[in-house]
Structure 1
Amino acid sequence: MAALLFFVLLAVFGGAAAGDDVSALLEFKKGISDLGKDQVLGSWSPPETTYSGRGGDGCLAAWRGVVCDGGAVVSVALDGLGLAGELKLVTLANMRSLQNLSLAGNAFSGRLPPGIGSLSSLRHLDLSGNRFYGPIPGRLADLSGLVHLNLSYNNFTSGFPTDGIRQLQNLRRIDLRSNSFWGNAGDLLAELRNAEHIDLSDNQFTGSVDLELDSLSSIGNMVKYMNLSHNRLSGGFFRNEMVGAFKNLETLDLSNTGIGGMLPRIDSWFSLAVFKVAGNGLFGMMPETLLHNSMRLVEVDLSQNGFSVTCWSSWTPGLGLSISLPHKLT
């Protein structure tokens, strides 16, 4: 009897949750203007029979871009379908099983609502290559399971919230490039504890990368890709003691950020493949450590700085290494 009651409750509440997901997606659909061949609107229709999660993802199998598991929607992926419309993302706020929301490469617009923080299961959020605008809500920090965040190539215009970002312990990739975000880049870096890929390029971030060592104790062990190029930074490059904190750095791009001063020794970055600091106020002797065989460099750009050098003027880069030097060497 108890077993029968369990299955009855599972069917009732599971079906209710599934029905909520259908209702949420149908409401979400109202904001879509299909510019293609009715790829989405034609398939997203109310179920004719009672919603059932039996059969794995068969619940909404006919709905393009939708995947279910156990009767609940776990993924909505509509990448590159030529879609547009003013989306009300708040309509998805109660989809508690949603793990993947990917709308990249369309022409969607709309705001990122505070209700996004209610998507407690979300691991992958990709809104890149659209026309989303407005501020980023602080409740983004409520997405404790988030692993991948891509808001690049949109029209977001706000300070990027740093309060609570440290709670995103699972965040491995954050891509904010080509928006109009502002704020202190150093403060944000200090909060990204476990990120491996960080791209803040082409924004209006200010501040300095010359941080205290204890601010980078966690991220230094994790980050492999860091691009802060084309921002409005100030101050100097990483200090000598900070260089050693980055254990696995493979790509560093600080081009056209406004930093100045002298470069420290970076020969301890054994994994570094791309090093770009063009268009800044760096000066002093060109770092000959970049020539050491112990480094794995394949691309170096030191152009449009104030470096001076004698021995590099006759040096020819080795096979596979592309290097851009200042136009005038002294």
Structure 2
Amino acid sequence: MSPSPHLTNLSAALMEKHLFLCIFLAFFLHFSTLSFVHAQVTNISTDKQALLALKARISHDPSNLLTSSWSTSSSVCHWMGITCGARHLRVTGLNISHFGLTATLPPQLGNLSFLSRLDINNNSFYGALPEEYAQLRRLKYLVLSRNSLSGELPASIFDNLPNLQLLYLRSNMFEGRIPSTISKCRSLQNLSLSFNNFTGAIPKEIGNLTQLRAIYLGYNKLQGEIPKELGNLAKLERLSLPNSYLTGTIPREIGNLTLIKYLYLYSNKLTGK
């Protein structure tokens, strides 16, 4: 006796459902494995290798601080100048300011994917700022002041730093134009690029950074006029542009800055009232 059409249809439906579940489980296991491998690759050992790349570039450590503290036999979270997050146990802070170090910046620091603070203020770092630091999406504070860093600022470095609040590059030897892409750092509150060799005009796009409270661009080799777009910065309290070869008149829009406390424009070639 041949099976009834009802039983045939039921059997086909069950087989189709079983096949679907097998395919689903196969995809699930595949992507779960990939996620597990990725998690394994980007763990604390990734941070450790990035920091060891920095240590390898240090040619002068007068106090022997990193040489003695940054040991492969101890946890990265116990190294001097390193802060780790309590939740993920990943490196969130690198603060080696005032150590008197001489080195170049390695691109591997761009792999510190949980880093929110990078502070190497007052050392003797030299060379370029690596483009790989654009990968530091969680970065809030970038403090590289009082070093000997040089070259142009990579325009791409500001493409993926939405959380950056403080950018201090004062007293280095950076040159070239200030990238207009800095306007993508919409959380930026403090911008200090003074005492460098920046040229060209002040990007009018800075007027889009509505969270800015302080701008320091003095003692550069800038050209052109003060952008009227700076008048959009309603929260601005400090505007410092002295000794920067600026020309033209002071924009009337500067009068919109009702919270301004300090306005430094001396030693330029400004005209008018």
Question: How high is the TM-score relative to the length of structure 1?
Answer: 0.67
Corresponding position of 2:212: 195
Q: Secondary structure at the match of 2:92?
A: strand
Is the 8 Å Cα contact of residues 210 and 235 (structure 1) preserved in structure 2? no
Matched residue type, 1:205: L
Matched residue type, 1:250: K
Corresponding position of 1:67: 83
Corresponding position of 1:158: 176
In 2 relative to 1, CA 188–205 (structure 1 residues): closer, same or farther, beyond 3 Å? farther
In 2 relative to 1, CA 119–32 (structure 1 residues): closer, same or farther, beyond 3 Å? same
Is the 8 Å Cα contact of residues 113 and 138 (structure 2) preserved in structure 1? yes
Aligned length: 237
The structure 2 residue matched to 1:209, chosen from 221, 226, 230, is 226
In 2 relative to 1, CA 66–185 (structure 1 residues): closer, same or farther, beyond 3 Å? same
The structure 2 residue matched to 1:145, chosen from 146, 157, 163, is 163
TM-fit CA distance, 1:165: 2.2
Corresponding position of 1:288: none
Corresponding position of 1:278: none
- Listed one character per residue, the Cα deviations across residues 206-226 of structure 1 (whole Å, up to 9, x for unaligned) are 121262xxx34631x111001
- Listed one character per residue, the Cα deviations across residues 104-134 of structure 1 (whole Å, up to 9, x for unaligned) are 0011112112111011111100110000010
Is the 8 Å Cα contact of residues 50 and 109 (structure 2) preserved in structure 1? yes
Residue segments in structure 1 that go unaligned for 5+ positions in a row: 1-5, 49-58, 263-330
TM-fit CA distance, 1:87: 2.8
Q: Secondary structure at the match of 2:157?
A: helix
The structure 2 residue matched to 1:248, chosen from 252, 256, 259, is 259
Corresponding position of 2:114: 97
TM-fit CA distance, 1:34: 3.3
Matched residue type, 1:72: R
In 2 relative to 1, CA 243–113 (structure 1 residues): closer, same or farther, beyond 3 Å? closer
Distance between the aligned counterparts of 2:126 and 2:54, measured in 1?
Answer: 13
The structure 1 residue matched to 2:50, chosen from 24, 41, 49, is 24
TM-fit CA distance, 1:254: 0.2
Corresponding position of 2:98: 80
The structure 2 residue matched to 1:227, chosen from 240, 249, 258, is 240
What fraction of aligned residue pairs are identical, expressed as a percent?
26
TM-fit CA distance, 1:67: 0.6
Corresponding position of 1:106: 123
- Listed one character per residue, the Cα deviations across residues 143-199 of structure 1 (whole Å, up to 9, x for unaligned) are 11100000010011111101x322211000010000001121252542433210100
Corresponding position of 2:269: 258
Distance between the aligned counterparts of 2:196 and 2:77, measured in 1?
Answer: 35
Corresponding position of 1:311: none
Is the 8 Å Cα contact of residues 145 and 168 (structure 1) preserved in structure 2? yes
Is the 8 Å Cα contact of residues 115 and 139 (structure 1) preserved in structure 2? no
- Listed one character per residue, the Cα deviations across residues 213-257 of structure 1 (whole Å, up to 9, x for unaligned) are xx34631x1110010000111111232xx2441120000000011
Q: Secondary structure at the match of 1:20?
A: helix
Matched residue type, 1:27: A
Residue segments in structure 2 that go unaligned for 5+ positions in a row: 1-31
The structure 1 residue matched to 2:143, chosen from 120, 126, 143, is 126
Matched residue type, 1:159: R
Distance between the aligned counterparts of 1:210 and 1:74, measured in 2?
Answer: 36
Is the 8 Å Cα contact of residues 61 and 67 (structure 2) preserved in structure 1? no
Query: Which of structures 1 and 2 has the bigger CA Rg?
Result: 2
Distance between the aligned counterparts of 1:71 and 1:81, measured in 2?
Answer: 25
Q: Secondary structure at the match of 1:249?
A: coil
Matched residue type, 2:191: I
Is the 8 Å Cα contact of residues 160 and 182 (structure 1) preserved in structure 2? yes
Q: Name whichever of 177-186 and 194-203 sits farther off.
A: 177-186
Corresponding position of 1:218: 232
Distance between the aligned counterparts of 2:170 and 2:235, measured in 1?
Answer: 22
Matched residue type, 1:230: N
Matched residue type, 1:62: H
| Bigger share in helix | 2
